[in-house]
Amino acid sequence: MNGKRDDNTSPIPRSQGAQDARDPRGVIVVGAGPTGLLLAGDLAAVGVPVTLVEKRQHRISNLSRAFVAHARTLEQLDARGIADALEAEGRPLDRIALFGRLSVRLDTLPSRFNHLLVIPQYEVEKVLERRAVEAGVRFRYETEVTAVEQGGSAGGAGDAGGVAVDVRTADGGTDRLTAAYVVGTDGHRSAVREAVGLPFPGKSVIRSVVLADVRLDEQPDEALTANAVGDAFAFIAPFGDGYHRVIGWHRGRDVPDSEPLDLDEVREITRLALGRDYGMRDARWMSRFHCDERQAPAYRVGRVFLAGDAAHVHTPAGGQGMNTGLQDAANLGWKLAAVLGGHADPALLDSYEAERHPVGRAVLRSSGGIVRLAMAKSPWALALRAALTTFVNHVPPARTRAIGQITGIGYRYPAPRGAHRLVGTRVPDVALSTGRLYESLRGGRFVLIGPRGADRPRALGTLGDRLAVATWTSDRRTTVLVRPDGYVAWAAEGADDAAVGEALAEWLGAAALGAAA
């Protein structure tokens, strides 16, 4: 093992007191992976009582399947002040090579993070856990969910609107935790999803995918490369610590996940797909797994929500798994905080599924498409792959769309009929009179951006903990209200104070209307 990365020390007790997890104003998050840690940290940072339940022991392993952070995820982490720390740990790559024909450049992305960052999931978890601890999240490790009950059946939930979660602890004891809302971020075998009766339709796409973290005697020509030849597919990416992640698959080797794996098998698949094995040696981790494509039909049942792998799973192609889950959390967290803080109608929570379910479906399609191209074998399928890669290489709109889907920056959320064309779009990290936009978003704030010279009421300062006010550094005349997750909530051309006040009242609560008067 690599000692530098094997950091299993715990900054928190294994389990905190059961009495801390009975708050009818709070949220129970189940699952301490990246999605759950980000969500719990977001809520606790704005004063929402949060209990994070995890059935595993507290241990951040240096072995993880996810290893890429894309531009949109880095933007979301920048809005929390933690992207730069991860950038210092990871390795930025500005180009992806696929199938020997397609070269995708990322350095033209309209983002401060115009690259992908190769960084293991455990490094992301360490930063997110530290943030959650500092924000006051209460952790319950070695605690397994056995039942979830809502409303009148919740018993100790306090009122008909509560949720009760029954759990079993490592010593065989039981407990009942209560809160206003529960979020299942507990992976593809989600106990929360099963407890609320949601199916997980889909299928296994490929079996017996092999994974190895190894040292290489020879460096590949491309920093990150993938190719498929005949029945074999392989992918190699550097960690930046002397090890490379190798993922491979061979059509003729369809065996159960439990089948032993040795490095010779990984070498053979890599040689078939990439022409050589680059002298791979010293594997610190090897694993065999299968890839499913599944999505829950709903992300919400009453006061229970799903996010991350509990809501959707797909192939690792494109490295979108962890990223999609983190963006789920960024979407849901500020909405729960607004409702629990009395600043928004509970109907706002319906927009989580409306916005994120289509994105999850699109990720299944895009990652599945990459895998199917990699699996191409017949002459017509290989010809189609060649035609598609040529098309993406040489047609800028197609290339922009493909990059936008993989990196996450190309998605926009549905807007109401008649809304300004910017509503629902992602806002890049534009320069403002007060500094960068994503610095202004920190603390879960909305940001109101208006034209230079606009005289906004000073009383808006009373909303300073939830609203930042800035002006464009350009001559732009559009007034824009940016949500805490970096998407446009409302926009107008030449808006007067009354229109601004109505928008603030809609998104920040009635008190905002008085401040804008």
Give the CATH number for residue 195.
3.50.50.60
Q: Which residues contact 463 (CB under 8 A, 6 or more apart)?
A: 504, 508, 511, 512, 515
Tally of domains within the chain: 3
**Position 6 in a domain:** no
Residues 284, 340 share a domain: no
pLDDT at residue 292 is higher than 50 = yes
Question: pTM (2 decimals)?
Answer: 0.89
DSSP string, 197-250: T----EEEEEEEEEEEEEE-SS--SSSSEEEEETTEEEEEEE-SSS-EEEEEEE
418-442 residue pLDDT tens: 999 999 999 999 999 989 999 999 9
Are the CB atoms for 352 and 300 separated by under 8 Å?
A: yes
Residues 127, 218 share a domain: no
- Residue 436 in 3-state DSSP? strand
Looking at residue 350, what is its pLDDT?
Answer: 97
**Position 256 in a domain:** yes
Residues 274, 190 share a domain: no
Residues 283, 135 share a domain: no
Residues 266, 151 share a domain: no
Q: Which residues contact 379 (CB under 8 A, 6 or more apart)?
A: none
Which of 329, 363, 397 represents a domain boundary (last residue)? 363
pLDDT at residue 207 is higher than 70 = yes
d(C-alpha 236, C-alpha 50), whole Å: 39
Residues 234, 176 share a domain: no
**Position 395 in a domain:** no
Looking at residue 517, what is its pLDDT?
Answer: 54
pLDDT at residue 202 is higher than 50 = yes
Taking residue 43's Cβ as centre, other Cβ atoms within 10 Å add up to: 30
Are the CB atoms for 78 and 438 separated by under 8 Å?
A: yes
pLDDT at residue 374 is higher than 80 = no
Are the CB atoms for 336 and 344 separated by under 8 Å?
A: no
80-95 residue pLDDT tens: 999 999 999 888 888 7
Domain with residue 232: its CATH number is 3.30.70.2450
**Position 275 in a domain:** yes
Taking residue 14's Cβ as centre, other Cβ atoms within 10 Å add up to: 13
d(C-alpha 49, C-alpha 276), whole Å: 53
**In which band, very low, low, confident or very high, does the pLDDT at 390 lie, cut at 50, 70 and 90?**
confident
41-74 residue pLDDT tens: 999 999 999 999 999 987 666 666 788 899 999 9
459-513 residue pLDDT tens: 565 677 899 999 999 889 999 999 999 999 999 998 888 889 899 999 998 666 5
Name the residue with higher pLDDT: 386 or 244: 244
Looking at residue 290, what is its pLDDT?
Answer: 83
**Position 272 in a domain:** yes
Q: Which residues contact 396 (CB under 8 A, 6 or more apart)?
A: none
Are the CB atoms for 480 and 426 separated by under 8 Å?
A: no
Looking at residue 3, what is its pLDDT?
Answer: 35
**In which band, very low, low, confident or very high, does the pLDDT at 1 lie, cut at 50, 70 and 90?**
very low
30-44, 102-116, 231-245, 362-376: lowest mean pLDDT where? Answer: 362-376
Looking at residue 352, what is its pLDDT?
Answer: 98
Residues 211, 156 share a domain: no
d(C-alpha 501, C-alpha 152), whole Å: 38
E strand or H helix that includes residue 281: strand 281-295
Q: Which domain covers residue 332, as residue numbers?
A: 18-67+120-200+296-363
Residues 352, 256 share a domain: no
Q: At what angle do helices 34-45 and 321-340 cross, to 10 degrees?
A: 20
Looking at residue 393, what is its pLDDT?
Answer: 67
pLDDT at residue 222 is higher than 50 = yes
Which of 363, 383, 404 represents a domain boundary (last residue)? 363
**In which band, very low, low, confident or very high, does the pLDDT at 343 lie, cut at 50, 70 and 90?**
very high
Name the residue with higher pLDDT: 78 or 205: 78
Which of 363, 378, 411 represents a domain boundary (last residue)? 363
Looking at residue 253, what is its pLDDT?
Answer: 83
Residues 132, 25 share a domain: yes
DSSP string, 449-471: EE-TT----GGGGGGTTTEEEEE
pLDDT at residue 237 is higher than 60 = yes
**Helix residue spans in 283-415 (DSSP H):** 321-340, 350-374, 379-394, 396-407
Beta strands 163-169; 143-150: pairing state: antiparallel
Looking at residue 157, what is its pLDDT?
Answer: 39
Q: What percent of the chain has pLDDT over 90?
A: 56
Residues 48, 157 share a domain: yes
Residues 443, 338 share a domain: no
Residues 502, 448 share a domain: yes
**Position 375 in a domain:** no
- Residue 304 in 3-state DSSP? strand
119-140 residue pLDDT tens: 888 899 999 999 999 999 999 9
Domain with residue 466: its CATH number is 3.40.30.120
**Position 468 in a domain:** yes
**Position 135 in a domain:** yes
For 216, the token pair is 């290489």
Mean pLDDT in the chain? 86
